[in-house]
Amino acid sequence: MGVPLFFQEKTMGMLVLTRSTEWAFTKDDALLVNTFAVQASIAIENARLYDEINRFSQMMERMVAQRVDELSSAYTTLEKLDKNKSTFIQVAAHELRTPLTVIKGYLGMLRGHAAIKESEALVMAVDGVMQGTNRLHQIVNSMLDVARLENQVLTPHMEQLSIAPMLRMLNKEFQEDLQTRDITLNIGNSLSELPPVKVDPELFQKALNNVVVNAIKYTPDGGTVSVFAEPVQDERLGHCIEIKVQDTGIGIDPANLDIIFEKLYQLGKVELHSSGRSSFKGGGPGLGLAIAAGIVKAHGGKIWAESPGYDEKKMSGSTFYMRLPLSRD
């Protein structure tokens, strides 16, 4: 008697039984064998699936182990590259600072020389060189700040004070840049109502200036930059002061909202950037936001950016947030 073994319309074999005499099987025997065949088919299929799953699991384990090794190797390589980049920044900054100081000293001597003062063209030439030297000195100082942040040797000297005067000083700090670019800087109202916060005044002013410079740089002529501050409640930090810098600029692609705080990161093509601290889409070393992020984190706060997207026609704008925890007695 032969009974097929099949599962879900798939034949996998035949169950064959024999007896020494002819017509020895009854209908009950046939029913019993059919029942056994169904159960045997299910058991065989389960065994096949188990074997297939087991082999697939082993293959996945090997692939995962291989990928982990590859990721570990890539991470080690990236760590080395990042360390080399930080070392280069530190060495380059120290190597540039000394000759820059010498150049600035000699330029000051030339600027005060009687022969130079007599020629308007020479005065303009010396002033132009001095302006470029000052810009280069700012970049070198930024490189040193990044190096100190990377090496965790930048320790804030905390003072409990109001940040309102720092915010009001922004108009004076960037007066020339704002007039040159015809950009309006709005400082929020009710600053006197802000509670005091423990910060390092010099470091925090540097962080704030870098964020505002970034807003001016990516806002077209005639645009607006607004700075607001208010107390807020943060889930992780508790009671905080939130400083918000909002611009009417070109905006940021959502994919770049986190990476813009990495050192040396530049948006757009570097060769198309104009030069200058606050010129529209002006080129720079890509350190300002990294310094701001490092300083805010050194204060136990957090910084992030939001933007609808990059659009140089609609000028979707960007908003940068800095939260500093209020001092606790």
Percentage above 90 pLDDT, the chain: 27
Is a pLDDT exceeding 80 seen at residue 89? no
Per residue, the 3-state secondary structure of 240-291, as one string, reads: EEEEEEEECCCCCCHHHCCHHHCCCCCCCCHHHCEECCCCCCEECCCCHHHH
Is a pLDDT exceeding 80 seen at residue 68? yes
Measure the CA dihedral 121/125/126/131, to 10°. 140
Is a pLDDT exceeding 90 seen at residue 247? yes
pLDDT digits over 1-44, tens only? 999 988 887 888 899 999 888 888 888 888 999 999 889 988 99
pLDDT digits over 132-165, tens only? 888 787 778 777 777 777 666 667 788 888 888 8
Dihedral of alpha carbons 237, 243, 246, 252, sign: negative
Identify which of 295, 321, 302 has the alpha carbon closest to the alpha carbon of residue 199. Answer: 295
Looking at every residue in the chain, the average pLDDT score rounds to: 85
Per-residue b or e along 32-60, where b marks 16 or more CB atoms closer than 10 Å to that residue's CB: ebeeebeebbeeebeeeeeeeeeeeeeee
Which CATH class for the 159-325 domain? alpha beta
User: Mean pLDDT over residues 216-220, rounded?
Assistant: 91
User: Mean pLDDT over residues 222-241, rounded?
Assistant: 91
Percentage above 70 pLDDT, the chain: 92
Interaxial angle between packed helices 120-150 and 288-298, expressed in degrees from 0 to 180 and rounded to the nearest 10: 40
**Confidence band (pLDDT; 50, 70, 90) for 119?**
confident
- Is-above-0.85 flag for pTM? no
Cα(256)–Cα(13) distance, integer angstroms: 60
Q: Rounded to 5 degrees, what angle do the CA atoms 150, 271, 249 make?
A: 75
- Name the CA radius of gyration of the chain, rounded: 35
**Confidence band (pLDDT; 50, 70, 90) for 269?**
low
Interaxial angle between packed helices 164-173 and 201-217, expressed in degrees from 0 to 180 and rounded to the nearest 10: 50
Residue 182: which region, alpha, beta or left (left: phi > 0; alpha: psi -120 to 50)? left
The helix, strand and coil proportions of the chain, stated in percent and rounded to the nearest 5, come to 55, 20, 30
User: Mean pLDDT over residues 258-285, rounded?
Assistant: 68
Cα(96)–Cα(84) distance, integer angstroms: 18
Pairing of strands 274-275, 319-325: unpaired
Q: CB neighbours of 221 closer than 8 A, spacing ≥ 6?
A: 181, 182, 183, 280
**Amino acid in the structure at residue 226:** S
